[in-house]
Structure 1
């Protein structure tokens, strides 16, 4: 009987779950295994660090980065003021020319200048009969005389009212006052350095020079010159740095 009980107990212990055991303190521990936790899900809110794009992808063209040029109010005011001064200078030159005509005979002036000039083709390009000869030798007279040639077209190499280039114009104007300038702009500067006076405060009638160009100072920061092909003799604001020479 005792042997049978012992055998039954031994069988029960053998059949007890191996997953549960008690240590000396009476704490029950388990060796049961559990499945791995699921892998972390991809964070869809995280910005991608790289993107593959086909080389021939069409993104709708290249955007122009050109910024339109605009003018400030100060620049607009300066341009308006320059235009007003140009108009005033032109009016003053015309008034001076008109005043000169009252002290000299128009018929006598015309006979000394000739009736007209012609181009190489024989076509009249400028009526010299409307040009008054100088009645005095000063800067204002130079401006008044030069202003009468406004509208004469620019012609490369031109030295007459058929057409002027810049140095041909100054040579022609000063010749009417007995001043024989050389033909080209740089030679005119050299002549002015030897025969005139370089000034920093220009007055009407002064010769203006900068590399490649000459003109005549009118006053009020204005000048008269033969500008370039496609243009004509005109009075304009002084647009760049010039050297000034008083030669009359």
Structure 2
């Protein structure tokens, strides 16, 4: 079974994308990327207690750099946002244990560029479409149709492969796990896009179409999780 290989950088870009989608201010998007990077790296520490130590340390650094009086709730909100990112990374990419020393967003003409350095020594530049145009809806629908069909078929193939020893190698299993973890992350981005598009479209017919495909995302998510569960059971 051949599966596309995804780099750590590409996984991180999918992880952080929902947090910059439709955010008009570049500096806010840039800060969101930095926060996602912190959440990713903190998730690599074992145990909740150790992660909390690092969250507290980062908050103290942020507080020390801010001369203004902190409004009520800022500390709790900051820490909770980091915890959410830590938990999301652990949920989406539990077997991906490479850290991200640098993730910098560069403003471009139209799209941004994400410059990523990973703990394995690799660097990548990935274009980030932070404000996708609703005119691209037909392309999104075609893509969702494709992964809806392919993921459902993969559930059937893996269910059969589980019964036959030796069909899945360790390399196949690892790559497929990463690919479907990546797909789960991408679905979060697509859900964000469809939700925003639906809220801004005045035509009821377009809203109905978008609502339908939001429901399809739920179906794809269920099948994606089923694929991952089968892969885990085959280890």
How would you bin the TM-score normalised by the shorter chain? under 0.3
TM-score, normalised relative to structure 2: 0.23
Report which of the two has the higher share of strand: 1
TM-score, normalised relative to structure 1: 0.22
Compare relative contact order (CA 8 Å, sep 6+) and give the higher one, 1 or 2.
2
Which is greater in Rg? 1
Report which of the two has the higher share of helix: 2
